[in-house]
Amino acid sequence: MPRGERPLEAEGGPLLEFAARLRKLREQAGGPTYRDLARRAHYSIAALSAAAAGRQLPTLAVTLAYVRACGGDEREWELIWRRTAAECSTGTGAGAGAGSGTVIETGGESRDKVSAPYAGLASFQQSDADTFFGRERLTTRIVEHLNAKRFLVLFGASGSGKSSVLRAGVLPRFPGDPALVLTPGAHPLEECAIQLAARARLTPGSVYTELAAEPRALHRVVRQILAGSPDPAAELIVVVDQFEEVFTLCQDAAERDAFVAALLHAARTPDSRCRVVLAVRSDFYTHCTRLPALVDALADAHLPVGPMTLDELRAAIVRPAARARLTVEGALLAALTADAHGRPGALPLLSHALLETWHRRRGNALTLAGFQAAGGFEGALAQTAEAFHSGLSDSQRNITRRLFLRLIALGDGTEDTKRRVPRGELDDTPDTALVLEQATRARLLTVDRDHVEITHEALIRCWPRLGRWLGEDRDRLRLHRALTEATAVWESLDRDPDTLYRGMRLASARDLPDEALTVRERAFLAAGETAERAHALRARHHIRRLRRLVAALVALLVCATTAVGFAVRSQRTVTEQRNHALALKAADTSSALRTRDRPLAAQLALAAYRLDSGRATRDSLLSVAPRTLTRRVHATAVTPDGRTLATARDDGGLSLWNLTDPRRPALLGENRRRPDSFHTLVFGPRGETLAGLSQDGEIRLWDTADPGHPRLVSTTPTRHTELVFSLAMSPDGRTLATGSYDDTVRLWSIADPARPRLLNSLTGHRLNVKPVAFSADGTTLASGSDDRTVRLWDVTDPRDAPTIAVLEGHDNFVSALAYSRDGRTLVSGSDDHTALLWNVADPRRHRRLGRLHGHTDVITSVEFTPDSRLAVTAGLDGTTRVWGTADGPLPTERATLTGLSGGLATAVPLPTHDAVVTLSNDHTVEIWDTDPVRARTHACAQVRTPLTAAQWARHFPDLAYDPPCDDPT
């Protein structure tokens, strides 16, 4: 028999009356169990039983789900809920507490419950409109835009309050219109179909099939939903929150395109009854521009969410407190506004710090002492997370580490994001359930019936322990995430053996700790190992048959004395082919082992190159042993003579390195006085000046004449109105150029580095300006743009700089530019995965020389070697490629260097020593040899123990034992 509900307390009050009415509704429905209600309502048993417990007011969504499951009138109950919320907001006891819907226990055993005036890490909901302050101006802009154009893309940094302003600010401004709020997840079209089907009382499968077949289906379902509305002018407001999940979680490009097409058609069709808002993290702007349908809509339908002004911050801090009859100490208000002002992603930290300060209030006053006791602005969140972690046992802490790492989607050129995980992906153990419960109680996780996710991405940035876990396990986490996805595919295809891991993928996955795997993942690997053993057994039988056949052939050859010469030649050919195959296999194995056993990988690459010195084995040797110089770097620059390297770290520190001998780089000096980091650096012609572009768009100039003591000379705002993408310095060191997403190029005089002056603003591009580059003589400036063109400007007189040529030929955005040292050739890299070579000896009579094919993703960096005979390109596919540009109209690829850590941001060839310096998107600086002889010396220097005879026989069967580094030092 199911356990009965606890009787409600005798005292009345709006909350108890509301709970009693819910219980009566359930009795009238026949008294279904909460398990049955959960199945009908798609909410957890705990959420539904808590709704009728009378301890706190449930959210409107939970209430309506409870009513639907009991067959009640949703419109009537929505009025009841709003009336109860209004009555609760005027009270202070347990029966009150609309506000944020959060009831907190205080006072230990007294169980005195009062409503917190702040939401903490959680987003404001539509029911929280009365307590949502500070974003009135932004809310008005969004509402005016939707009334005029129906479609809007809201860009903002993580933590800038996009979700809250849409739910608690915008949706209440459309009181007569129903709203549909969803997050895309791994299958956005399926999620949209489920939400629509619930509103239209249809089956999700049929709605999904229609949406996948044609975009117009969403428009038809919306009209069906609104057909039953008493208001003939009613419209549906569709809010797609965390739209970046279509890039981080959705792997099906066709489903992503269909989802976007359906939303756009529903909002833009002439008889539309739908308004659509997409909330996107700002660092995914470029990802959005890769969707052709969305690019056209973005032109007049995007709105940025910036940081709050001081007045808005004061309103967000003081007005919720005043509404709860609390006061905010002046010193606390000053400290909070100083910490949060000008920081776009600071709102979750502010709200959490206020919530923790409220827990430590003195009487009815929020004080600076309470704020400091909570850990301060960023420390409050870390302190909460550490308190949760310290309350767990050792085994539970291990589960916590694996759980939180599983809830993060690693960024590829972007910040790491949270990841919604199905409950079925987690092991169902008592310790796992306890960790989920404790983390949810601490508001670090959000758990519903089907999914688990981190409450807010601010936790990823501000919990140092989680940051250390990510830093230690990033490579293993990528491998584990791929295993999780492969397991899901295997199960979805009824455990099809063709989807199992084999070979190096299985060997790599075996290295994952067994305790980090779920039962499902261990079953997947076990099935792969069984299939591998069966395959090996078949292979041995096949080899024995081949040996018998070879023996027969040898006997025939012995008898056929007249064919001795032919046999000798055949044997030589077979040997060469065997050696070639063994070398290629060893090179592939070396590439797979680089992240797990670099000494073994180096020796296999060396042996493969010695056995067959072809293109593939040479690239494997060059890629196996780069020198890691430093990490946590956002930008690099190399002096024209290649002797000095500058690196800008993520903590704002600037370091200068001596690269006279790239094999032994040495730190020359550092400057740690600026707390902010840079995304672009460039040296002057003689290395005595260094220019940097900070993350907040300021130009900073350093005097680096003494590399041991770099000195900041000046700081100048760029005055661009959008993101500043690039920076270039003229060969005479007197002029700077900046390229910006406001579609302009600006020219600056730095003849006096202490007082830079704006000279000119160049217009002509139709979309974002990305790279800029000066010609060797400084008379021409090239700029690349998202309008797919390269413009050449005559900057002989920077105050009057007309366009002298427009280079067209790319099929996508232009992302990188570089001039050769002789000034005759320009290379341009693009999002179309190719680079173009241009003859610009006479810019007005330019011509295209050739196209560089080979990259499989965006080209992020291009550069020439000092002799102008080679070009170096780097891309998000993780490769650096070296091209012969003096080979006529068909440039040839000379070498390919494959990175260990994903996409590359920049690659710069050094004038001497046949070396290349790269900066990868995981902020690691590495130095690569492009000379196989030097690469061999460096690779053997890493070896302490040569290949054993058993290892040699495994990788080079039938070859005499001859390790490549037989005398390691």
How far, in whole angstroms, is CA 536 from its chain's centroid? 40
Residue 454, beta-bridge partner list: 445
What DSSP character marks residue 457?
A: T
Task: Report whether pLDDT(669) > 80.
Answer: yes
Three-state secondary structure readout of 105-129? EECHHHCEEEECCCCCCCCCCHHHH
d(CA 477, CA 854): 28
Q: How much of the chain exceeds pLDDT 70, in percent?
A: 87
Residue 425, beta-bridge partner list: none
d(CA 94, CA 113): 5
Q: What is the DSSP string of 249-318?
A: T---HHHHHHHHHHHHHHHHSTT--EEEEEEEEGGGHHHHTTSHHHHHHHTTSEEEE-PPPHHHHHHHHH
Tokens of 541: 């039988």
Q: What is the average pLDDT across 684-709?
A: 89
Residue 634 · residue 653 · CB < 8 Å: no
Residue 858 · residue 885 · CB < 8 Å: no
Q: 10 Å Cβ neighbour count for 498? A: 8
Tokens of 410: 């690693």
What pLDDT was estimated at residue 99?
34
Which residue has better confidence, 26 or 348?
Answer: 26
Q: Tokens 């041995």 — which residue?
A: 540
Type of residue numbered 425 = E
Q: What angle do CA 33, 38, 40 make, to 5 degrees?
A: 100
What pLDDT was estimated at residue 480?
65
How far, in whole angstroms, is CA 76 from its chain's centroid? 44
Type of residue numbered 50 = A
Regarding beta strands 698-703 and 744-749, do their DSSP bridges make them parallel or antiparallel, or are they unpaired? unpaired
Tokens of 398: 């291990």
**Euclidean distance between the first and final Cα of the chain, in Å?**
75
Handedness of CA 680, 682, 688, 689 (dihedral sign): negative
Residue 285 · residue 247 · CB < 8 Å: no
Residue 780, beta-bridge partner list: 794
Residue 868 · residue 853 · CB < 8 Å: no
Model confidence at 274, pLDDT cuts 50, 70, 90, reads: very high
560: left (phi over 0), alpha (psi -120 to 50) or beta: beta
Residue among 191, 167, 193, 166 at smallest CA distance from 249? 191
Q: What is the average pLDDT across 841-869?
A: 90
Residue 240, beta-bridge partner list: 182, 278
Q: 10 Å Cβ neighbour count for 763? A: 12
Handedness of CA 283, 288, 289, 294 (dihedral sign): negative
Tokens of 144: 């005016």
Q: What is the average pLDDT across 953-966?
A: 81
Residue 771 · residue 873 · CB < 8 Å: no
* Weakest-pLDDT range from 156-165, 278-287, 474-483, 783-792: 474-483
Q: What is the average pLDDT across 292-320?
A: 87
Residue 738 · residue 720 · CB < 8 Å: yes
Q: What is the DSSP string of 135-197?
A: -HHHHHHHHHHHHHHSEEEEEE-TTSSHHHIIIIIIGGGSTTS-EEEE--TT-HHHHHHHHHH
Type of residue numbered 880 = T
Which residue has better confidence, 336 or 874?
Answer: 874
Handedness of CA 132, 137, 138, 142 (dihedral sign): positive
Mind listing the pLDDT tens digit for each residue in 492-518? Answer: 667 777 777 766 666 656 666 666 677
Task: Report whether pLDDT(344) > 70.
Answer: no
Three-state secondary structure readout of 781-802? EEEEECCCEEEEEECCCCCCCC
Q: What is the average pLDDT across 645-671?
A: 88
Which residue has better confidence, 445 or 266?
Answer: 266
Mind listing the pLDDT tens digit for each residue in 368-398? Answer: 888 877 777 666 677 778 878 887 888 888 8
What pLDDT was estimated at residue 749?
95
Task: Report whether pLDDT(637) > 90.
Answer: yes
Q: What is the average pLDDT across 527-539?
A: 74
Q: Tokens 């500070």 — which residue?
A: 134
Task: Report whether pLDDT(546) > 50.
Answer: yes
Q: 10 Å Cβ neighbour count for 230? A: 7
Q: How much of the chain exceeds pLDDT 90, in percent?
A: 23
Task: Report whether pLDDT(944) > 60.
Answer: yes
Q: Which residues contact 388 (CB under 8 A, 6 or more apart)?
A: 438, 439, 442, 444
Task: Report whether pLDDT(151) > 90.
Answer: yes
Please report, for residues 635, 684, 752, 890, the alpha-carbon distance to residue 733 in angstroms, rounded to integers and kept in the order given: 20, 5, 10, 35
Please report, for residues 558, 759, 773, 860, the alpha-carbon distance to residue 729 in angstroms, rounded to integers and kept in the order given: 74, 14, 8, 19
d(CA 307, CA 160): 7
Model confidence at 912, pLDDT cuts 50, 70, 90, reads: low
Q: Which residues contact 460 (CB under 8 A, 6 or more apart)?
A: 408, 415, 416, 417, 418, 454, 466, 467, 470
Residue 360 · residue 373 · CB < 8 Å: yes
Q: Which residues contact 755 (CB under 8 A, 6 or more apart)?
A: 714
d(CA 727, CA 739): 7
Residue among 878, 766, 846 at smallest CA distance from 814? 766
What pLDDT was estimated at residue 694?
84
Which residue has better confidence, 592 or 180?
Answer: 180
What pLDDT was estimated at residue 681?
93
d(CA 752, CA 523): 68
Q: What is the average pLDDT across 93-110?
A: 33
Task: Name the average pLDDT for the chain.
Answer: 82
Tokens of 494: 């009824």
Q: Which residues contact 107 (CB under 8 A, 6 or more apart)?
A: none
Q: Burial level of 50, CB count in 10 A (0-12/13-18/19+)?
A: middle
Mind listing the pLDDT tens digit for each residue in 177-192? Answer: 888 999 988 889 999 9
Whats the size of the chain, residue-wise? Answer: 969
Q: What is the average pLDDT across 4-20?
A: 74
Q: How many helices, marked H, and strands, marked E, lie in the chain?
A: 30, 42
SS3 state of residue 963: coil
How far, in whole angstroms, is CA 473 from its chain's centroid? 16
Rg, the chain, Cα only: 32
Residue among 183, 73, 139 at smallest CA distance from 446? 183
SS3 state of residue 158: coil
> What DSSP element (H or E) covers 504?
helix 503-510
Regarding beta strands 780-785 and 789-794, do their DSSP bridges make them parallel or antiparallel, or are they unpaired? antiparallel
Q: What is the average pLDDT across 247-268?
A: 89
Tokens of 760: 């000119």
Task: Report whether pLDDT(11) > 70.
Answer: no
Q: Which residues contact 204 (CB under 8 A, 6 or more apart)?
A: 190, 193, 194, 197
d(CA 165, CA 575): 71
Task: Report whether pLDDT(837) > 50.
Answer: yes
Q: 10 Å Cβ neighbour count for 533? A: 10
Three-state secondary structure readout of 382-446? HHHHHHHHHCCCHHHHHHHHHHHHHCEECCCCCCCEECCEEHHHCCCCHHHHHHHHHHHHCCCEE
Model confidence at 752, pLDDT cuts 50, 70, 90, reads: very high
d(CA 544, CA 860): 51
